[in-house]
């Protein structure tokens, strides 16, 4: 695999988890707002179903981003993150991406499960 492809995979692994978490949180917030507000009453939105679907898709995408980071780690196993710029930097960011994706997956699971389990609409 070329350094260019490794670089692309490394960026997918590094930025993918954060983008998926951000999207999951905003879309989940929108679904909850649509169910609880009067404007979304006619849409027949089932919060638990939608939150579960969003959770599943988001978890799969973060696992794919983690897989991209793992692929880079496997392909660069002969180098160190302290090596000269191209291979060393790619390995460094792949290590950071692998750790970050575990954290983002945990956040996505906690956010999604909390959205399903908690009471959706409350009166103030």
Mean pLDDT of 13-34: 93
Beta-carbon contacts of 8 under 8 Å, excluding residues fewer than 6 positions away, are: none
pLDDT confidence band for 124 (50 / 70 / 90)? low
Predicted TM-score (pTM) of this structure: 0.86
The string of pLDDT tens digits covering residues 74-101 is: 998 888 767 677 788 888 999 999 999 9
42-55: b (≥16 Cβ within 10 Å) or e: eeebebeebbeebb
pLDDT of residue 118: 85
Say which residues have a Cβ less than 8 Å from residue 65's Cβ, sequence separation at least 6. 12, 13, 16, 17, 20, 97, 101
Whole-angstrom distance, CA of residue 17 vs CA of residue 14: 7
Q: What number of helices (H) and strands (E) belong to the chain? A: 3, 0
Q: What is the tens place of the pLDDT at every residue in 99-109?
A: 999 999 999 99
pLDDT at residue number 24:
96
């Amino acid at each position: 695999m070329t350094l260019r492809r490794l670089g692309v995979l490394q960026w997918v692994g590094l930025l993918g988890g954060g983008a998926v978490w951000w999207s999951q949180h905003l879309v989940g917030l929108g679904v909850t707002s649509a169910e609880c507000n009067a404007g979304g009453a006619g849409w027949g939105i089932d919060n638990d179903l939608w939150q579960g679907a969003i959770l599943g898709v988001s978890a799969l995408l973060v696992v794919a981003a983690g897989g991209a980071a793992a692929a880079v780690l496997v392909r660069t196993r002969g180098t160190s993150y302290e090596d000269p710029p191209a291979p060393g930097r790619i390995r460094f960011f792949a290590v950071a991406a692998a750790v970050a994706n575990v954290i983002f997956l945990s956040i996505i699971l906690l956010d999604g499960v909390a959205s399903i389990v908690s009471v959706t609409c409350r009166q103030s």
